[in-house]
Amino acid sequence: MADIKWSAFPSAGSLITSDTLVGLRSGANSKFTLTSTPTANAVAGWDANSRLKAKNFIPSFTTTVATAATVQLTVASTYLQEVTGAGDDAFQINLPNPSTLETGCSYKIINYSNDTMSVADYTGGNTTVIYPYDTFEAILTDVAVPGFGGWTTYSSQGTLGSDGYPIFSSVLVSNAGALELLGGNYFSCVDNAGTFYNTLNNISTTAARTWSLPDASGTIALTSGASGIVNSGTAGQLTYYAGTGTTVSGANAGTGVITALGQNVTGSGAIALATSPTFVTPVLGAASATSVAFSSTSGIIGTTTNDNAAAGSVGEIISSTGSGVSLTTGTPSNACYIDITAGDWDVWGTVNFTGDVSTTVVQLYGWTSATASTFPAIELRSQVFIGSPGAAAFASSFPSFTVPVARYSVSGTTSIYLSGAATFAVSTATLGGAIYARRRR
């Protein structure tokens, strides 16, 4: 076969679209140089390993304003898809049908809008949420697998699972004793506003695990056999999903219970909730600025046996009696007294008078007072008029009557007296009685 003789290679400017370029000759006389390390005006070629080197490739891109619509990518779509505008969370981009592409095709979607958007497979299924200013990239690795199965996907949130959340497979999040994530466990990310979305599934709890919160405000203890979901919240908040039958709880050192304000608790037993709780032998410390509300028909339950309130308790009672105290007409005397301790008390009593049958009596008096043997104001005492100029009151009976109930609010131990007096003549008269006090509050 005769050698093919090359004619002069046409200049680039003389080529038209209908021309057929048969070959290129490498050498000093060629118009273009075929090289694996090209310079300006040179034709780039593969190296020995089928690699093509360039300092930068400039891909075509398409800009779309996000609206409540779906954009379907095809084999003719550009590699770079830029989403702009105020945003609409109903906006969605569907990847091309894998069967129309070649392995290695890739698409990069940048969400420059101010709202979330979705990326789905070519059927519109298996959606992935892309947050504002996040980037999503998909590389086709198997054209025969439908849906997302033939794509390897990445985002600025990390490698994404089929539910749109970053996936970590067989990763130990912290050191020994901390929560270990197995395949199929997902976390989401921090969006552009700084909101942390965190979902925790399928937790391995063969031993006690601890997950440190992102802001290091505390820990959530997951005990053996427990699992659950912890959603976003503020520092110190704890969410319990009762409907799942599992408990997600935290603990303060030494108590096993976390409170609303993160404080330790005392005592033992079950936690009391708002409706119909039962407290067994609680000890209530001194409190201020508090109140206890009761229904209009049910108050504090009283004792059901013949016991007495302890000293210092509401209902405490003190009493004393006296008799045979000789009287001088018109002069106050004390029948008996009691000592009440600091607090608020109601005090009352009865007085009785005796004497010789010949004694003539005009008037009898009785009262209580913190001052011994002293007449109080007339509204604070009881008095009984017998007669004038006098009657033999003791000839047939011994007069007795009650004295007014009086309130005594004292800051320390105080003596309260049961006192009386009589106006009489001829013979003798004596005073007796009983005094009672009950702690009101």
Q: Are 420 and 366 in contact (CB under 8 A)?
A: yes
| Domain at 317-439, CATH class | mainly beta
pTM: 0.43
pLDDT digits (tens, 9 = 90+) for 9-25: 455 444 444 444 445 55
Mean pLDDT of the chain: 74
Chain segment 130-180, per-residue pLDDT in tens: 888 888 898 988 888 877 778 888 776 554 444 444 444 333 333 333 333
- Tell me what pLDDT residue 387 has: 82
Domain boundaries, the chain: 61-131, 165-261, 317-439
| Residue 400 CA, distance from chain mean position | 66
Joined tokens for residue 395: 């000839």
**Cβ atoms within 10 Å of 206's Cβ, excluding its own:** 8
Tell me the per-residue pLDDT of 321-353, one tens digit each, with 9 for 90 and over.
999 999 999 999 999 999 999 999 999 999 999
87, 113 Cβ separation under 8 angstroms = yes
Distance CA 369, CA 375 (A): 9
User: Amino acid letter at 204?
Assistant: S
Torsion angle, alpha carbons of 359, 365, 366, 371, to 10: -110
Q: What is the pLDDT of residue 163?
A: 46
Tell me: pLDDT of 358 over 90: yes
- The predicted structure's pLDDT at residue 145: 81
CA distances from 149 to 143, 189, 399, 429 (A): 9, 23, 108, 114
